[in-house]
Chains A and B, each alone.
Chain A
Amino acid sequence: METIGKPLKRRSRIHSSEQRVAYICLIPAFLGLIFLTYAPLVGVLGISLTNWTGLKSPEFVGFDNYVKLFTTDPYIKDSIIATIYFAFLSVAGSMIYSLFIAMLLNRKIPARGFFRAVFYVPFVLPAVAIYVGWSWLYEANFGFFNYLLSEVGLNKILFIADSRYVVPSLSLIAVWLAGNLIVIFLAGLQNVPSVYHEAAEMDGANGWKRFRHITLPCMTPIIFYNLLMSLIANLQVVTPALALTNGGPGNSSRFMTYLMYDQAFVNYKLGYACATTFIIFAILAAFTAVLFKTSNRWIFSEGGDDK
């Protein structure tokens, strides 16, 4: 940066006026960030140190809420486990699924446009309608999947009514919903220079080798981006718990965001909910940091001078 920065300083007045314009244009964005993101974040931290219920004026209670969360709260441990388990299955599943589908859709197959639309459609469907539909498929007594199982003489699977299967079942829906990842992968695949493939083909590399040594390395920046977006989205999962399971059976789908919602808008323990929010924030931050820290080890950059 410094080597570029110094000559800039010697540039003309035009440049510094440009800078001024840039800062002025950035003001709305900064205001938005400060008042809609950072100030509320500080507010949440402040409220998390009180016993505010919304009815009485809040009293300062120090770190009581955090202490309670880590000692006597009956939900938070199960909730963190359920959320991470869900995020792991959903991220891994949707990355593999969407990369695979994107590669198929990148081939010159008939009706390609139609298939691209088909795989994207779940992503734009209204969430509640999707979950109602899946609830009929998963229903434990007379659902469609159980009908199929009983037709072939197998025992019923309770799916979302069973604490062992509920998270994998919900992850499957999340994978099926990953149409947005497919689109981004598809864009990435089209940027993989075809000369590499042609050259490798001449050298006699088979399909797997070309995937492993050309497609995959070229795709790593896109994979990183998708991984990050998908991880953040899945750690914040709440819709299936709200629309389908109400956190059950037991606590097996009481995801962190759902727990926070329940504390804040069902029980009106706003201070307590803010403390939970901060823990969610910390977990998200930790996962994101780990992902960024390890990224330079596996992201292939064409310049090659980063390493």
Chain B
Amino acid sequence: MKAGKRLGGVLLAAVLAIGAAGCGNSENNEKSAAPTGGESSKAPENTSSPTKKVKITYSMWGSAEEGNTTQAVADKFNASQDRIEVEVMAIPWENYMTKLNTLATANQLPDTGMLREDGVIQWSSQGMLNDVGSMYEGSDSKPLDSLAYKYQGKTVAYAAANEILLLYYNKDMFDKAGVPYPPSALDQAWTWDEFVAAAKKLTIDKNGKHPGEDGFDSQSIVQYGASVENLPWQLETWAISNGGGFYNNDGTEVRIGENASVEAIQKVADLYLKDHVAPLSVGQTDDGIQRTVIAGTVAMATNGQWNVGTSLNTAKEQGLNYGVAVLPYMNEKVTLNTGGANVVFSQTKHPEEAMEWLKWYTSEENNWGLISSGIWMPVLEKWYTDETLTRKWVENPNFPPYDEYKSAVVDYAQSSAARPASWFYTNHTTEFNTLLGSILGDVWTGKTTAADAISKNLEALKAAHSGSQ
């Protein structure tokens, strides 16, 4: 019953939204009609004068307060020219996609806005997004190539920010164990075996023994050597690194059933099951760094760059001495990059103005708070290639030492190792990743193997990827 009520609520919301659409239209009518009431008797030609600005709405996820901050930035844009007037609509993150769905149904979408990574291709496939390929034509600096969302060969969005996956480590634990730090330079990246070997030296049971030594007790480990994040989307890194992948290059085929992909996932599971260097994680919650490096129980952990700004900067102030390094590799050196998208909705009447605003807004100066705190990385190439700009971005107390971060993050992000996460080019990634996460649940605890679990469910995974499930 309750469930019924909840869905009923959605239905009702949809009905209300349609109602609101009606109201919205009448509101527009009123606006255009308004001048006749007031000054129109004097100068009716004012309404059609060239000074009238085009109004566009930009939606973003965040609190009302964050909305005000963005509106303040938009006001600068509004004051800088006399053709476009941008109004910011802030929607809380939890309801963001639901609200946009409702607005889409009601034909009341904003002109432009942010969109969750996994929604971009889905919305494109339903004809809801405009081609933005022309946005940076003639510009001196473009976003990194890996940050363009592609659907059927067209660029349908650019990421609003950049993120890559890397290896975080606790320097004090390495110093204490006398183990050299993981390399921050891509050409010196550890192989998987080197990574596991180092992790063993850093894993200690309560008698001070390491895995592989006589008398080591895997039930009384007090410090783990490594933790590789096993959220499904991040696992793709290892499948590709081992010569497999979740999909082929254009996302038309599922490759997760291949031996290389399965073996890579098993290797990640074996860190806990066989090597005894990793704590158990069932890959369901997105708090990997807090649970490991910040909790002080694990020496190395993989995760996204955003952790520098969302949690590690606070931990650093409280005394955590951490470093950043490139990921180890199996066969090929791979990291994934990602970032929520900025899109232009196809319902807009002003696509050019929307793109002009987006291009202005996504220049890094306007998101400086997020970038200088370490949550976002810039999207424009020049921040990675021009050292003055890189220093401006990185040299502040929120970041690890410049040389280390420059090599392990800035250079890494523009290297050939950086591949776009699959939602940049393929649809139904949410369904696929949810199903994969559920299939792998018993693999992490060793009740089944990755090979068994995936081969049994391969058809279901393919169905999820094709959207027919």
Residues of A within 8 A of B3 (CB): 236, 256-257, 260, 277, 280-281
Q: Which of A19-27, A170-178, A184-192, A262-270 contacts B (4 or more CB under 8 A)?
A: A262-270
Distance in angstroms between the alpha carbons of A162 and B441 in the assembled complex: 8
Q: Does A284 contact B (CB under 8 A)?
A: yes
Q: Does A141 contact B (CB under 8 A)?
A: yes
> Do A55 and B128 touch across chains, with their CB atoms under 8 A apart?
yes
> Do A75 and B11 touch across chains, with their CB atoms under 8 A apart?
no
Residues of A within 8 A of B101 (CB): 53-55, 268
> Do A40 and B442 touch across chains, with their CB atoms under 8 A apart?
no
> Do B11 and A40 touch across chains, with their CB atoms under 8 A apart?
yes
Of chain B, the residue at the smallest CB distance from A47 is B11
Q: Does A37 contact B (CB under 8 A)?
A: yes
Q: Which of B38-46, B71-79, B233-241, B278-286 contacts A (4 or more CB under 8 A)?
A: B278-286
Distance in angstroms between the alpha carbons of A252 and B439 in the assembled complex: 11
A43-70 residues with Cβ-Cβ distance < 8 A to B are: 43-44, 47, 53-57, 68
Q: Does B321 contact A (CB under 8 A)?
A: no
Interface size on B, residues (CB 8 A): 53
> Do B219 and A156 touch across chains, with their CB atoms under 8 A apart?
yes
Residues of B within 8 A of A179 (CB): none
Residues of B within 8 A of A150 (CB): 219-220
Of chain A, the residue at the smallest CB distance from B444 is A249
Q: Does A201 contact B (CB under 8 A)?
A: no
Q: Does B254 contact A (CB under 8 A)?
A: no
Distance in angstroms between the alpha carbons of A55 and B98 in the assembled complex: 10
Smallest Cβ distance from B389 to chain A, in angstroms? Answer: 38
Smallest Cβ distance from B3 to chain A, in angstroms? Answer: 5
A245-294 residues with Cβ-Cβ distance < 8 A to B are: 245-252, 254, 256-257, 260, 262, 264-268, 270, 273-274, 277, 280-281, 284
Interface size on A, residues (CB 8 A): 55
B1-31 residues with Cβ-Cβ distance < 8 A to A are: 1-5, 7-12, 14
> Do B282 and A266 touch across chains, with their CB atoms under 8 A apart?
no
Distance in angstroms between the alpha carbons of A245 and B12 in the assembled complex: 30
Smallest Cβ distance from B101 to chain A, in angstroms? Answer: 4
Q: Does B104 contact A (CB under 8 A)?
A: yes
Partner of B8, one of A39, A68, A155, A250: A39
Q: Does A198 contact B (CB under 8 A)?
A: no
Smallest Cβ distance from A39 to chain B, in angstroms? Answer: 7
Smallest Cβ distance from A238 to chain B, in angstroms? Answer: 9
A54-B5 contact in complex given A72-B463, A75-B438, C-beta closer than 8 Å: no
Interface string of B410-433 (1 = CB under 8 A from A): 000000000000000000001100
> Do B437 and A248 touch across chains, with their CB atoms under 8 A apart?
yes
A163-B441 contact in complex given A55-B126, A246-B284, C-beta closer than 8 Å: yes
> Do A249 and B2 touch across chains, with their CB atoms under 8 A apart?
no
> Do A40 and B430 touch across chains, with their CB atoms under 8 A apart?
no
> Do A248 and B7 touch across chains, with their CB atoms under 8 A apart?
no
Distance in angstroms between the alpha carbons of A163 and B438 in the assembled complex: 11
Residues of A within 8 A of B266 (CB): none
> Do B7 and A250 touch across chains, with their CB atoms under 8 A apart?
no
Residues of A within 8 A of B361 (CB): none
Smallest Cβ distance from A104 to chain B, in angstroms? Answer: 32
Smallest Cβ distance from A94 to chain B, in angstroms? Answer: 18
Partner of A140, one of B280, B295, B435: B280
Q: Does B162 contact A (CB under 8 A)?
A: no
Q: Does B311 contact A (CB under 8 A)?
A: no
A266-B430 contact in complex given A37-B5, A40-B7, A161-B282, C-beta closer than 8 Å: yes
Partner of A56, one of B126, B437, B464, B469: B126
Residues of A within 8 A of B280 (CB): 140-141, 158, 161
Give B residues with C-beta under 8 Å from A: 1-5, 7-12, 14, 97-98, 101-102, 104-105, 122-123, 126, 128, 219-221, 224, 279-285, 295, 297, 430-431, 434-435, 437-442, 444-445, 447, 457, 460, 463-464, 469
| Interface CB pairs A-B, < 8 A, 16 | A37-B1, A44-B8, A55-B101, A55-B105, A74-B469, A142-B297, A158-B445, A246-B284, A248-B283, A250-B438, A250-B440, A251-B438, A262-B434, A265-B97, A266-B434, A268-B122
Across chains A and B, which 9 residue pairs bring their CB atoms closest together, nearest first?
A40-B8, A250-B441, A249-B441, A54-B101, A141-B279, A246-B284, A43-B11, A248-B284, A74-B460
Extra contacts, 16 of them, besides A44-B8, A163-B447 (Cβ < 8 A), are A37-B5, A40-B4, A40-B11, A55-B101, A55-B104, A72-B460, A74-B460, A74-B469, A161-B280, A163-B442, A249-B444, A250-B438, A254-B438, A257-B3, A267-B430, A267-B431
